[in-house]
Chain A
Amino acid sequence: MRRVAVIGAGVTKFGKHDRTSAELFAAAAADAITDAGIAPSAVQALYFGNVTGGETERQLHMGPLAATLLGLPTVPTTRFENACATSHAAFRHAVMEIASGVSDVVLVGGAERVLNVPTESATEFFAYCSDASIEQPAGLTFPGVFALIARAHMDKYGTTEEQMAHVAVKNHRHGVLNPKAQFQKEISLETVLKSAYVADPLKLFDCCPFTDGGAALVLASEDVARRHRRPIWVLGTHAATDTMFVHEKRDLSRVTATERAAQGAYRQAGKTPTDVDVVELHDCFTIAEIVATEGLGFFEPGTGGLAAEKGWTSLGGKLPVNPSGGLKAKGHPIGATGAAQIAEIVTQLRGEAGPRQVGGARTGLTHTLGGNTATVLVSLFGRD
């Protein structure tokens, strides 16, 4: 298999937009192509991610539309949908297209627009990513899924609501340093702890927001990337799936798909958790970050809450997690999130992250979780 590099990245401002998903992606893609310094005509394929466009915009077949609005209407496109892990899944397939020798330059990313519909509609559409036979009729929501996980983690390890709140406070502190973030405002521990319950024990400030935004990456083969001034190498990328049914998870305090995806990515990259300098991981809810830091092998099971409380995952800590502000503060346009996380790691490994730069970062990891923990992708990146 051929080596693959990320040579360009583009991300729109995250927040509320009056542009469509396809427009948001096209804007991010044009920025990524400019960043890569390639001619637009060099793009040989587009792997595009979007989740709720059929519901929020009455728009399917969005891949060709995105290519058309980008101004590359004849580029072959495929749309991906893997819930919140959508564009990370698209990324893995784009990597494989180049690694296999089919193409030399592939554009990949995604976009989402949900702030044009009421919150209760967005909550309904996101719940479509859980099972429609048992879970949706019972009224299970996404905060509900992670509340079940949080309760199990609290019961098993003694994790506290205050430890979860530390994740939110930290990611908001990081978000202040990211001009693309939806929220660039610090919050206090008290603000989190006094916010209203959405699904006990998760409160409003334990939850990431609904977000509009787009993100895109230009991937290239080694031959092309070597002519580029700053390639960031894909060291490993692995996908794992688990049962769709929450009741079939063997242990609700763990996300086994994260553990399997991480093991695969580390093995492919020839790296271990201690080699990682900077992480962008899927903090859709505060408990999700705690469980992910354990599943990725950074902290022992049951100590992710302590790591958040002690500041080990803060900028300046032993392993900075979500320097971008994470899904919590940067925002979570679900079709764009995986690509946006990779864009942040690319920026970090280039040493261009400004006030949120992790000093001397050489190896970065991204982790994206889809739906009710049924889909997880983990990728590792390195610089020359």
Chain B
Amino acid sequence: MGKQAVMLGNEAIARGAYEAGVKVSSAYPGTPSTEISENLVQYKDDIYAEWAPNEKVAVEVAIGASVAGVRSMACMKHVGLNVGFDPLNTVSYMGVTGGLMLVVADDPGLYSSQNEQDTRRMARVTGVPVLEPSDSQEAKDFVAKALDISEKFDRPVILRTTTRLAHSQGKVELGERAEKAVIPYERNAAKTVMMPGNAKGRHIEVEKHNLELAEAANTMDINRIEMNDTKIGVITSGIPYLYVKEALPDASVLKLGMVNPLPRKLITEFASHVDKLYIVEELEPVFEEQIKSWGIPCTGKEILTVQGEYSANMLREKIAHETLSAEEPAKVPGRPPILCPGCPHRSTFYVLKKLGIHAAGDIGCYTLGAVPPLGVVDTTICMGASISSLHGMEKARGKDFIKNWVAVIGDSTFLHTGINSLLNMVYNKATGTVMILDNSTTAMTGHQDHAATGFTLQKEPAPALDLEAFCKALGVPNVRVVDAFDIAKLEKTIKEETKREELSVIISKSPCVLLTKGRKPHVTPHPEKCRKCGMCLKPGCPAITKQADGTIAIDDTMCTGCNLCVQLCKFDAIGKAGVSNE
């Protein structure tokens, strides 16, 4: 037996890439896919891995590496595939030289996403094969299988995971790296220059390869029948396979390792051996629709949901008709995520709230500016949409309509897809105000570097984009930089720039509070001076609580000494952090 380790699904995928001889990886962080790239760092002698500014760039980097003759990959969350979908649709025609794999992580249950789209649907749109592992061991093993299929059938391949797989740990048998020789480059314009005359031929070729692959799927070892009692048969894949094994240990199961294209003969044969056929797939009825279209009766979404995650208990109830004995959950106040104590976004949002300004929002921690007590973010759509949607509002309703609006976007999100939107504002003579909330990191996904932080994925020094100079170079007439915690200056600047009938960018700057480790100073309440006015409670800092007598208490294990509350108190009842009280 080889060496064993316990690995997160994402860690296992990185290991799989190492063992399968991958040489290039590019990605933009996105929960639940981020840890794949972070874990590739340990293999840096063998794999070049990077953070790209967005998924379109990442997919194109991987395509280039494939054309150059090596195994390559790009990693993203499900909505990242939307951004990388343009190159994928065309590389689907081109096919590959070195094996090409996209790892795409879906998020059933929306743990950290704006929608629940199903990557299998996307893959069917573009005719790309998809493999889906069920645990960490398969997550590792399926990388090599995906790349073998990619090279054998001349297809880019998607490895699909979900949050539950990506963020679960399980045992993994480790193997050695199988180094792949670089495939010599030969110009082949008919295959790699996708202009109409060439693409026509490739489309025919691609369909031929897909049919060959669908045929091969019938005998592929990762599509496996586990014959048992034939009263109930289940077709499933990925994490739901584990729920089936847990809840229906006696059922016969067809476990699909390749979820696109489907093995029609194998499914037809399996269906013929069982009395009642169930399809257990999280999210969209992708298997079910195809299987029903072949005239095979089966039950799926009539009894199981398209929303959220499944569980063994759900299958016990819906398929085995068991009565579950668990207690009813208690009715308790919810605990939604909040901005951390000391978060610079809280300070910016406090000022926007005070001024009665609406914010067109974006994707990042600052989406939390939508919830009480701050409640200033009015829209959240997708990466970069804050800036472009504000522009649309102005063009719809005129410049007076957006006098009390700003767009808010983080530094990493701005670099991802906000740049195009800002360029559009410059070009089309917008007068809006864009606030870049620059906390010097990609915070929400766990603090990844980007093109303006000065470091690479491997933490090596890199050129850092100067956001202020960049906005000026784009042609933005007014660019202001303000310390996010200087609320007086922030208020003055926002008032001036929203009033101005010209495009403005305000960079509200302060590093993410979680970037600095170790103990931080804390503020000190002086209850004897407190007039119980509640000003310090307005920004909703979780370290401050109102006590029964109306004065406040500050949790010094949570307080980071940002001094926002100190600035708000008119009665000196909160002592500044890091200053002696005497």
A in complex with B: no
